[in-house]
Amino acid sequence: MNFKSCYIEGLLVIEPDKFSDERGHFMEAYKTDRYISEGITCNFLQDGLSRSRRNVLRGLHFTRYKPQAQLLTVVTGVVFDVVVDLRTESETYGRYFSVTLDSKSGPNQLFMPEGFAHGFCVLSDWADLHYKMTQTYEPSNEYGLLWSDEYLAIPWPVDNPIVSIRDQKHMSFHKLLEKGVIPLLSK
């Protein structure tokens, strides 16, 4: 298993070992002691699954009152995954990190500590994602950051993304700051 640190502190791109033969493959998606040895000491409380088709773009979602860490696994397909650092004490506050996660030929897991907005777009015909989360889902705790925010300038690799009406209505980073949804930079 390969754990790779990113330029944003706390993020880890993970490539689990896969054992393949003519029948298919086996992958150990999570083993507590292995992840603890890499600094992932979270108490995961809820798992979630999502399925999306090509060109679907979801996000950028975050929780405000009960920040949650997530371990994301791309079970099938390929996604362009993005996280935005919303931790005011972080040197990379307001910056994003992106990675292509591929269930067949590359890293297929991303660990995000508390304090990030998350989104992805699907590059394959279908993609199935599995989430381990440290908070249970509460609609009143869910917020969003506009996926097409000019300040963030994320280079989404789809020309005509399929975006939910809810995600189209999210506010920009600076509008969320003005409204006090994202705390002001403390530096």
Q: Is residue 186 part of a domain?
A: no
The answer, yes or no, to whether residue 26 has pLDDT greater than 90, is no
Q: Is residue 185 part of a domain?
A: no
Find the CATH number of the domain harbouring 11: 2.60.120.10
Q: What is the pLDDT of residues 126-153, one digit of tens each?
A: 999 999 999 998 888 889 999 999 999 9
Distances (CA, A) of 140 to 66, 87, 90, 143, 175: 10, 20, 26, 8, 19
Give the predicted TM-score (pTM) of the model: 0.92
> pLDDT averaged over the chain?
92
The CA distance from 77 to 144, in Å, is: 24
Q: Is residue 124 part of a domain?
A: yes
Q: Is residue 172 part of a domain?
A: yes
Domain count, the chain: 1
> Which residues span the domain enclosing 74?
2-178
Q: Is residue 158 part of a domain?
A: yes
Residues designated catalytic: 61, 131
The CA distance from 93 to 104, in Å, is: 32
* Helix (H) or strand (E) segment spanning residue 178: helix 173-178
The CA distance from 113 to 46, in Å, is: 15
Q: Is residue 134 part of a domain?
A: yes
Q: Is residue 36 part of a domain?
A: yes
